[in-house]
Amino acid sequence: MKALLARSYGPLDQLEIGEAPQPVPGPGQLLVRLEAAAVNPVDVALVTGRLRAELPVRHPFIPGVDVSGVVEAVGEGVTGFAVGDAVIAWNGVPSGAFAEYTLVQANGSGAVRPGGLDARHGAALPTGALTASALLDEAGLTPGSTLLVVGATGGLGGYAVQLAKRAGATVLATGRAGDSDYLRHLGADEAIDYNTEDVTARVRARAPDGADVVIDVARAGPALAASAAAAKPGGLVVSPLGGPPSFDRDVTARYTGTTTPPGRLAELAGLAATGALRAEIGAEYPFAEARQALTGFAGRHIRGKVVITF
Ligand SMILES: NC(=O)c1ccc[n+]([C@@H]2O[C@H](COP(=O)([O-])OP(=O)(O)OC[C@H]3O[C@@H](n4cnc5c(N)ncnc54)[C@H](OP(=O)(O)O)[C@@H]3O)[C@@H](O)[C@H]2O)c1
């Protein structure tokens, strides 16, 4: 089969489409023929080697964690999926979605793609929506809560804005100057230009004590202190990137990553199929240009997800 290959750790320019053995599904696994896949920051990190200590990969390495396609074969013991089913899945590491075929763990990380959700928008869902959902679990929003989302135009933040609105929160969202309409279209009550505006002052103009929760998907480590400054005393900062265990004010830090609770991806896919959750596609590339999809993702301002079609 054809696959996007990294022969070693190194820059994205090294990626090339080459031949790789078609995988064979083991117990509990699905063999999926790709129709679409989506690009995530982790793909870039796994190719370049930025995460080699925590998440080493074997070479030649096929990146790609967001899968959308059709079940070609099922492994022993698989239930709930049949050959010919349209599915979406989150592959995590070992990845492998940027190829004609990939293996998916049926339990937990895969879901049947409902009618009403096409393959491209299905691909745009797994990492972004699952991780946003995990962040929202930590945020514990209630109707009337005020939430600031930092990094709201990206593949993860856009879902956080939408899911928070569904939870009844007032949502303030950061983006660039030209992103205001996009952020409002996602449901944000206010759009804040993080380049030119004082984000904390804008939050305090709306919620004088600060936001109940700040979900920050853009900054890591000590830089998260800026998010703590926008949260109210007793409030929360929630991040998928990690940072200090505590802040120098009465604000709690909570860190989480992509999780696949049973039924969660199917639930999110159901919302997307009815239009209650929008999977935004900011750029699209044919598989023949998969390398450009990754370099474009890493180098450009994208609203929503970058999708590769097969
Ligand atoms: N732990 C996990 O399991 C997990 C899972 C998923 C994602 N993540 C991490 O979460 C982060 C976001 O993921 P993503 O898919 O949304 O990435 P993305 O699509 O690249 O989006 C990143 C967003 O952050 C914004 N941003 C960058 N620098 C900023 C700054 N200084 N202030 C405010 N906003 C800024 C970007 O806006 P501009 O385009 O204007 O720069 C963009 O909206 C990534 O670092 C990813 O690795 C972790």
Nearest atom (ligand 1) to Cα of 41? 47
Whole-number percent of the chain with pLDDT over 70: 100
CA distances for 280 relative to 42, 121, 125, angstroms: 19, 7, 9
Which string of DSSP letters, residue by residue, matches 89-118?
EE--TT---SBSEEEEESTTTEEEPPTTS-
Give distance in angstroms: CA of 48 to centre of ligand 1.
17
Segment 177-194 mean pLDDT: 98
- Confidence band (pLDDT; 50, 70, 90) for 250? very high
Domains of the chain: 2-125+279-309 (3.90.180.10), 128-255 (3.40.50.720)
pLDDT at 108 over 80: no
- Tell me the best of 133, 217, 255 to mutate to test the pocket of ligand 1, counting ligand atoms within 8 Å of each CB and taking the most: 217
DSSP-based three-state secondary structure for 28:
coil
Using CA atoms, how far apart are residues 70 and 84, in angstroms rounded to an integer? 6
Q: What is the mean pLDDT of the chain?
A: 97
H or E segment to which residue 201 belongs: helix 199-206
pLDDT one-digit tens code per residue, 131-182: 999 999 999 999 999 999 999 999 999 999 999 999 999 999 999 999 999 9
- Tell me the best of 156, 202, 216, 219 to mutate to test the pocket of ligand 1, counting ligand atoms within 8 Å of each CB and taking the most: 156
Inter-residue contact 302 to 41 (CB < 8 Å)? no
Segment 274-279 mean pLDDT: 97
pLDDT one-digit tens code per residue, 16-57: 999 999 999 999 999 999 999 999 999 999 999 999 999 999
